[in-house]
Structure 1
């Protein structure tokens, strides 16, 4: 069964801290748009799209290699490109940061061609409470590793959520691999 592929220690603590420091001065977008409606019940987070952040090129190279090896070893999807910028999500307890159950396939320019979702855990597990990435590939719910530098890869059609952050701030980076739409 296609579900969750965990890659421990894909990035070091120092590399994760460098990513967070590098994006700290970048402008953020409030992630509230669902279609054209703002819906705080679905998602509350700030986003940094990293394509235009100087010094992040090495991160994308690493993410591409992780997706390729994960796809080769686990999924076998027809992947052709990365047509969206990687996104750093900032979930703050002061905003009740969260992302309700959803899949990454749906409306939007590129989302219908998303095949694999990769999430890199940038925060240390002890720096926030709540904020678990939960994935539901079937009847059971899997909780992704909270260890800093760990990566979770799963099919983009899989339901997943980030539970509300109760204290601290959760940083994570997401990238999507694209290919022909599923049939």
Structure 2
């Protein structure tokens, strides 16, 4: 199994609070591993949340969710959370999207990624498009659009966010690190 769903990682109120924290932190244009920008591959604004202070509770919730998912579905050797929490905003104004990619890359942290967790922060009826899809077989399997639901998947799994055609889609992402796969 390469993906697992956590049906109620966050409440609606908690999801809204994470969006508020991201807006307070400020948003910048998202890039690829290594900081490169390619608008044809990714168009999103991102914020980084510290795992201490006002967002400490978010990291605690992520840690618990990852521990549960890893125990139930993956049993990967997870040793660290070396990157801050990322909140992404995919907006209709620029057809926000992220084309097919995996989260393992050449960067010093990206090469150690084992699991990715993506939590849905927006209400499904507030945007169109913007589906998170996981590549399973010859097609993309859509992840849940329900607010507060988290999808956990192996970081090597290809995935994408389809272009948003109406509204804004917010999501929270965290990567879990460990020794190289053997």
TM-score (norm 1): 0.94
Give the corresponding residue for 1:6: 5
TM superposition shift of 1:22:
2.0
How many residues align? The count is 182
In structure 2, distance between residues paired with 1:30 and 1:171:
14
Please give the per-residue CA displacement for 1:50-92, whole angstroms capped at 9, x wherever unaligned.
Answer: 0178411100000011001100010010000100001000111
Residues 1:59 and 1:114: Cα distance change in structure 2 (over 3 Å): same
Q: Helix, strand or coil for the counterpart of 1:174?
A: strand
The equivalences for 1:155-174 within 5 A come to 155-174=154-173
Matched, 1:181 2:172: no
Alignment of structure 1 residues 116-131 onto 2, 5 Å: 116-131=115-130
In structure 1, the gaps of 5 or more residues are none
Structure 1, 49-58 or 39-48: larger mean CA deviation: 49-58
Look up the SS of the partner of 1:55 in the other structure.
helix
RMSD, aligned CA: 1.5
| 2:85 is aligned with 1:86 | yes
Deviation at 1:138, TM superposition (A): 2.8
Deviation digits for residues 105-147 of structure 1 (CA, Å, limit 9, x no counterpart)? 0121201110000000000000100000000133332100000
Query: How many angstroms does 1:3 deviate by?
Result: 2.3
CA distance in 2, matches of 1:10, 1:37: 31
Which aligned pairs between 1:102-117 and structure 2 lie closer than 5 A? 102-117=101-116
In structure 2, runs of 5+ residues without a counterpart are none
CA deviation vs aligned residue, 1:14-33 (integer Å, no higher than 9, x gap): 11011111221212221134
* Structure 1 counterpart SS, 2:176: strand
Q: How many Å apart are 1:38 and its aligned residue?
A: 2.6
Q: Deviations over 1:143-163 (max 9, x none)?
A: 000000000000000000000
TM-score, normalization: structure 2? 0.95
